[in-house]
């Protein structure tokens, strides 16, 4: 099928596919942006973060053993509320946004280093020496390796994080465990509980008030419903257009049957035609979205949103051809020719 051979119904169908692609991209970007802002507002704790209060161990926790056992997880110890934290992690974790410098790396831990990442609005006395910034914490010098913060002011701008092995962990306190999956978080939390028991202490899992993405998802139900209503509207509209297109092509289907084409061959041709229209629509919708992005009118979260939008359009394309295709296959050739 060449572009110049498009019928009015095919143009309309491509426009519907483009609208679905565009709406999917907009919705994904909106959810991603809102999630990001909510997470910033909570000091970059996620929705699955587990909080554990450690009480009165007879000896300090074995941080090295705890560190060696975690995978794709990050453990914070709150030193002065949520804004001053000791931290260590292993594996794949999502670092907080930085205005400059870097976040901690695995080889920063248990190597005798004293490092700190400070918020952009945190205002300690910073001294510079040989191209590096330093601040004094508890009368000891720490190298500043990064400055926390995003495009908007948040809790991160007033936070201070140090590598956990550089400080005295004390005998108790509140720990927050986060990670890239619930399973890894649960495993790291269990390791912490085991270490607390070995140290002769007790622990209490803290149920903090639902915030961040938990609160976000409660507020986003209406937006998600609106998105699916819009998609359903486009789906119903496309079925009407598709039925009109079917009326124009059913005689062609009948002729193909008379020429000996199998149902599989006919369906394959229909699928190819509509998948082609879906791709035309997808790239049209993506082009419009990228054009608006270039003028800062909208924001696309990442490449995953584009991939998700692609599969939404392809699935949408498959759904809209089911009804007329099934109708064509169930009608007799004589009926198709006589209608």
Taking alpha carbons only, the member of 133, 151, 155, 157 closest to residue 143 is 133
The runs of H, that is alpha helices, within 57-146 are 63-69
pLDDT of residue 172: 84
What is d(CA 228, CA 300) in angstroms, rounded to the nearest whole number?
A: 19
Cβ–Cβ < 8 Å for 24, 309: yes
How do the domains of the chain map onto residue ranges?
Answer: 8-37+217-338, 43-209
Higher pLDDT, 330 or 56: 56
Q: How sure is the predictor about 85, in pLDDT bands with cuts at 50, 70 and 90?
A: very high
Rounded distance, CA 322 to CA 325, Å? 5
Question: 240: which 2 tokens?
Answer: 């009407």
CA distances for 115 relative to 74, 145, 299, angstroms: 16, 7, 34
pLDDT of residue 81: 75
How far apart, in Å, are the Cα atoms of 90 and each of 7, 147, 156, 175? Answer: 57, 21, 21, 16
Other Cβ atoms within 10 Å of 238 Cβ, number: 23
pLDDT at position 244: 65
- Residue, of 152 and 131, whose pLDDT is higher: 131
Q: CA-to-CA distance for 315 and 319, rounded, in angstroms? A: 6
pLDDT digits over 88-115, tens only?
999 999 888 899 999 999 999 999 999 9
Tell me, what's the pLDDT at 80? 80
What's the Cα-to-Cα distance from 102 to each of 39, 121, 191, 310, rounded to whole Å? 19, 17, 28, 34
What is residue 213's predicted lDDT score, i.e. its pLDDT?
A: 45
pLDDT, position 2: 45
Mean pLDDT across the chain: 80
pLDDT of 337 reads 47
Handedness of CA 246, 249, 251, 257 (dihedral sign): negative
Is residue 69 within 8 A of residue 191, CB to CB? The reply is yes
pLDDT tens for each residue of 141-185: 999 999 998 777 888 888 999 999 998 888 789 999 999 899 999
Distance CA 145, CA 149 (A): 13
Helix (H, G, I), strand (E, B) or coil at 140: strand
pLDDT-based confidence at residue 209 (cuts at 50, 70, 90):
low
Ranges 12-21, 77-86, 159-168, most confident: 159-168
Confidence band, pLDDT 50/70/90 cuts, at residue 139 = confident
Q: 136-162 burial, b for 16+ CB within 10 Å, e for fewer?
A: ebeeeebebbbbbbbeeebbbbbbbbb
Looking at the predicted structure, is the pLDDT value of residue 122 above 80? no
Whole-number Å distance between alpha carbons of 30 and 36: 10
Please state the three-class secondary structure of 3-47 as a single string: HHHCCHHHHHHHHHHHHHHHHHHHHHHHHHHHHHHHHHHCCCCCC
Side-chain half-sphere exposure of 101, counting CA atoms within 13 A: 22
Mean pLDDT, residues 70-90 taken together: 91
pLDDT cut 90: percent of the chain above it: 30
Residue 90: phi, psi to the nearest 5? -140, 140
């Amino acid at each position: 099928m060449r572009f110049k051979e498009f019928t009015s119904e095919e143009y309309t169908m491509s426009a519907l596919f483009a609208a679905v692609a565009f709406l999917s991209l907009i919705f994904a970007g909106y959810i991603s942006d809102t999630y990001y802002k909510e997470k910033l507002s909570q000091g970059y704790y996620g929705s699955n973060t587990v909080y554990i209060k450690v009480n009165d161990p007879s000896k300090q926790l074995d941080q090295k053993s705890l560190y060696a056992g975690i995978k794709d997880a990050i453990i914070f110890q709150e030193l002065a509320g949520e804004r001053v934290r000791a931290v260590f992690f292993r594996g794949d974790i999502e670092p907080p946004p930085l205005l400059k410098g870097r976040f901690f790396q695995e080889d920063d831990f248990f190597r005798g280093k004293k490092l700190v990442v400070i918020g952009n609005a945190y205002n300690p006395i910073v001294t510079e020496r040989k191209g590096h910034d330093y601040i004094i914490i508890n009368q000891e010098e720490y190298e500043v390796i990064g400055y926390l913060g995003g495009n908007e002011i948040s809790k991160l701008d007033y936070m201070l994080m140090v590598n956990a092995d550089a400080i005295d962990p004390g005998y108790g306190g509140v720990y927050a465990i986060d990670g890239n999956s619930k399973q890894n978080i649960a495993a790291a939390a269990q390791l912490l509980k085991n270490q607390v028991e070995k140290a002769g202490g007790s622990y209490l899992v803290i149920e903090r008030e639902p915030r961040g993405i938990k609160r976000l998802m409660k507020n986003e139900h209406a937006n998600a419903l609106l998105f699916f209503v819009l998609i359903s509207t486009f789906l119903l509209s496309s079925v009407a257009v598709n039925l009109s297109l079917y009326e124009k092509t059913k005689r062609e289907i009948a002729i193909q049957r008379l020429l000996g084409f199998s149902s599989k061959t006919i369906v394959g041709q229909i699928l190819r035609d509509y998948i082609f229209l879906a791709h035309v629509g997808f790239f049209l919708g993506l082009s419009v979205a990228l054009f608006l992005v270039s003028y800062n009118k909208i924001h696309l979260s990442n490449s995953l949103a584009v991939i998700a939008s692609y599969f939404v359009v392809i699935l949408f394309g498959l759904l809209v051809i089911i009804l007329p295709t099934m109708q064509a296959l169930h009608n007799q050739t004589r009926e198709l020719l006589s209608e």
